Amino acid sequence: MYPDYLAPLLSLVEETRPKRLELAKTGKPVYPPMNAAEREDVLTKHHPDYTAGARRKVRIGPNKGEELTTEVADILEAHSIVEPKVMDIHLREPDYETDLLIIGGGGAGCWAAITARQLGIKSMIATKLRMGDANTMMSEGGMQAAVSATDSPTRHYLDAIGGGHFENNPELVRVLTEDAPDVVRQLENLGVIWDKMPDGSMQVLHGGGTSRKRMVSCRDYIGAIIMRTLMDEVKNHPDMISVREFEPAVELLLDEKGHCGGAVLYSLDTEQFLTVKAKATIIATGGFGRLHIRGFATTNHYGATGDGLVMGYRAGAKLKFMDSVQYHPTGAVFPEQIAGFLITEKIRGAGGQPLNRFGELFVFPREPRDIESSAIIRECARGNGIDTYVGRTGVWLDSPIIDALHGDGYIRHQFPGMCRQFDRYGIDITKQPMLIYPSLHYQNGGIEINERCESNIPGLYVAGEASGGVHGRNRLMGNSVLDYNVFGRRAGRFAAEFAKSATVGKLNLDHIRAHAGELADECIESDLSSPLLLPSYTPEDVKIQQLARLGNIPARHSMLRSRFMPGERKTHL
């Protein structure tokens, strides 16, 4: 329920709706789309990537000297939680051996295991939390795929390249868009029930930056539906796919040839390190939303802390586009309990409109995400936003106009999850708008890969949000769902082919020693250890009390701490 002080502003939305609805029904743009110069202006002046301190040069590693997002540079220059000298026995006698190690139990990881099994390769999925606890599960609106009669993979390709500011890896975009229709068919064969029209054709909607209606969907539960389907398929083959839950990978293992030969896992249950020897390894760890870049709330799941970036980088993998962050234009601002909650772009694709405090449109509703987000931030900076009682600010997203455009009941039919979420707080989005502001959403870059999902380290493959290159410096709606499906399948295929003939030499952690040496050579003083694994929202004074009660028992690598105490030793060579 909105507080009483917002009632006058809500009434302005209702007053301006008839005129806005009349224009929307004509099919013409409800607000003039920006030209290239206008987009560049709002982007460089208002996008968080361009604010002071948003980027800095990383001082060590394969991308040394390049400007990266500051929070990313911080975790890359942090200390490892693994001490190489105490791991020797684990390296000589690994705890597990497998053909293929898949790090991450989301959509990309599951697809990789499913595809590898079809090629006769056994795999192990090591995941930080439970299977399916991933950003895959969090996605709502839909997936892009050129499946309608008026669309084609070529048009999809051009939209994706343009949305990425023409900096995408063209070959990755070609693979993404050409594989899309087959992904739709294969998911349906596995059990995904797509939204369809009465004649049986696929229902498709617009998204920001699309030239054709291309968004296929499962109401607003697409992530949950796909994730459930893929998990079921994984669980159907326990003889070929084993799963280690609550055992995240914390460092990669290399052999004397520099090939990736598995990883060090960390048991969240026992606080013990475990080693896995594997002929091929896939990083499918997802994004970094829980780093809360620039202090933004996030749409990401609890374990999204950029672990794959850290592990890959220390082993020598190159990163791509890690100076770029995507902020979803419509994250919830009110109620406070769901601040940052994703409000799918499908709302705007169906006709929802962003409005300022005066009930006025100020931006075309389907600009590419970075442009739309920047325009919302600019409008609030101009003093035209709506303030909440806890100090957040945002703009309205007029959802009731959708029923006015498509008929009563459309919203509850197409967006049951969104309705249910706001119903819990007494807000009926069929009658009242939502209050929104950009939310940290997606890691545009990642570990650089080719179309075979290969990194520059032999035996190491990357798929999904952890990879970099396909989206350039901005991703269009629905291409992330497509990304983990397309490249999860491809990673499983090419890693399986590699594993059939691969041999693994003597495992080592020499790259961790080298990392510690680089930190010392560059005189980098950091109290941070990484991978972070889990975000900490505990106030510092409470942490001190916890440690005092426990008598400082937690090990240095304990999940209670990601920072060192003053004077505490760092990496042991």
Q: Is the pLDDT of residue 544 over 90?
A: no
Q: pLDDT tens digits, residue range 306-339?
A: 999 999 999 999 999 999 999 999 999 999 999 9
Find how far residue 227's CA is from the centre of its chain. 15
> For residue 551, what pLDDT is reported?
54
Which position has the token pair 């000297």?
65
Bridge partners (DSSP) of residue 69 are 55
User: CB–CB of 106/491 below 8 Å?
Assistant: no
Q: How confident is the model at residue 257 (pLDDT cuts 50, 70, 90)?
A: very high
Mean pLDDT, residues 425-450: 97
pLDDT band at 542; cut points 50, 70, 90: confident
pLDDT bin (cut points 50, 70, 90) of residue 536 is confident
Q: Are 160 and 539 in contact (CB under 8 A)?
A: no
- pLDDT interval class at 539 (50, 70, 90): confident
Confidence of residue 550 (pLDDT cuts 50, 70, 90): low
pLDDT in tens, 60-98: 999 999 999 999 999 999 999 999 998 988 899 999 999
pLDDT bucket at 570, cuts 50 / 70 / 90: very low
Q: Please check the confidence at residue 126 and state whether its pLDDT lies above 80.
A: yes
Catalytic residue numbers, as ranges: 328, 348
∠ CA(377), CA(140), CA(113), 5° rounding? Answer: 120
Q: Cα 499 to chain center, whole Å? A: 28
What rounded mean pLDDT belongs to the chain?
93
When pLDDT is averaged across residues 157-179 and rounded to a whole number, the result is: 96
pLDDT of residue 546: 65
Q: Taking a C-beta distance cutoff of 8 angstroms, is the pair 277, 262 a contact?
A: yes
In the prediction, which pLDDT does 15 show? 98
Reported as a pLDDT band with limits 50, 70 and 90, residue 207 is confident
Model confidence at 560: pLDDT above 60: no
